[in-house]
Amino acid sequence: MNEEEKYIARLLFRNKVLQKDGQAYEDFFVKVMQHHNPNFRPVKAHGQFGDRKNDGFDKSTGTYYQVYAPEDLEKRKKKAVEKFKEDFEDLYKYWNDKVTPVKKFFYVLNNKYRAVPQIIYPELEEIKRKYSSVQVDILLNQALEDIFTNLPDDKIYDIIGYIPDPLNMQMVDFTAMNQVIEYLLAIESPYIKEDIPDKPDFEEKIVFNKLSACPANLLKTGNYQASNLDEYFKYESQLKEILKRVFNNIYEGGLKEVPNGDDKNDTVFFYILGNASPNKKKPVQDAVLVLMSYYFEYCDIFEEPKEPAQRSLFE
């Protein structure tokens, strides 16, 4: 896997993390850890005893993990602190004596790449003082991402699926296109105010939105086939407008979900691709990329270039 593919893999991984809460995130974490460490053992909740506050462990090293992935960590920060303390102490009481001594404990937080509430850290230090023989720490998304990117290529593909390649995009498969459109039509999308901007220069818009070479090349390759959609939409103007609304709403959702950063718009690009795709099969994702290029060109996704004096996307 080359550097560009690694970069795309990271962005696809981040989007998976951003869209997972609760049990879905725990299952995702377990899958990454099982690929990373053959000694990792997940613990399934059982009856009235649950999982004894242990979501996975490595008996050979005495390393234990407890996962917490609320939909909004900031709103649940008090619960996060309570759970951290209670779960560790309950885990220690049961597993330290009955299975293997607890040498390391990681509180796995789906912080969705945002800052961790400050009130968690004093509790972390208190536990470290009370249980000085145990290495206690918080494991955040960035650390899990680093574990993921160091996996062998086949395991990376198993976790994130197909990686789009601008040099290997197929001609539009209209069977796949119909499948994509049927999927998109089922997505509830609020009405958006009609705004018909001037059709901007394609390259200028890519630069203005700070898209890197990878999504830029995917858009350019998709744009070679976008003209085919004019014929497709020729007698379906209503469909064209509905899809415009769907893509715009997915884009707006990405702007809200993805934290600010230098690669925000690259991540939003793959957020749109992921949310507009009914599955990860190549013909389907290629069809979505052609649609994305079409709606990118007409400013229904990403920002229309503005004068320098006006607000940019990252201000």
Closest CA to 128 of 101, 111, 105: 105
Q: Which residues of 273-286 are buried (b: 16+ CB within 10 A; e: fewer)?
A: bbbbbbeeebbbbb
Predicted pLDDT at 193? 59
> How far is the CA of 304 from the CAs of 76, 90, 170, 203, in angstroms?
37, 54, 28, 12
Predicted pLDDT at 77? 84
User: Residues of the chain whose pLDDT is less than 50?
Assistant: 47-50, 308-315
Predicted pLDDT at 236? 74
Q: Which residues of 79-96 are buried (b: 16+ CB within 10 A; e: fewer)?
A: ebbebbeebbeebbeebb
What is the C-alpha to C-alpha distance for residues 74 and 259, in angstroms, rounded to an integer?
14
Predicted pLDDT at 314? 40
Predicted pLDDT at 189? 76
Contacts of 209 (CB under 8 A, 6+ apart): 265, 302, 303, 313
The residue written with tokens 């925000």 in the block is 264
Predicted pLDDT at 74? 83
Domain boundary assignment for the chain: 3-159, 164-297
Predicted pLDDT at 145? 96
In the chain, what percentage of residues exceed pLDDT 90? 51
Contacts of 85 (CB under 8 A, 6+ apart): 123, 126, 127
Predicted pLDDT at 196? 53
Structure letter (DSSP) for residue 50: B
Q: Which residues of 59-68 are buried (b: 16+ CB within 10 A; e: fewer)?
A: eeebbbbbbb
The residue written with tokens 């830029």 in the block is 216
Fold of 3-159: Trna Endonuclease; Chain: A, domain 1 (3.40.1350)
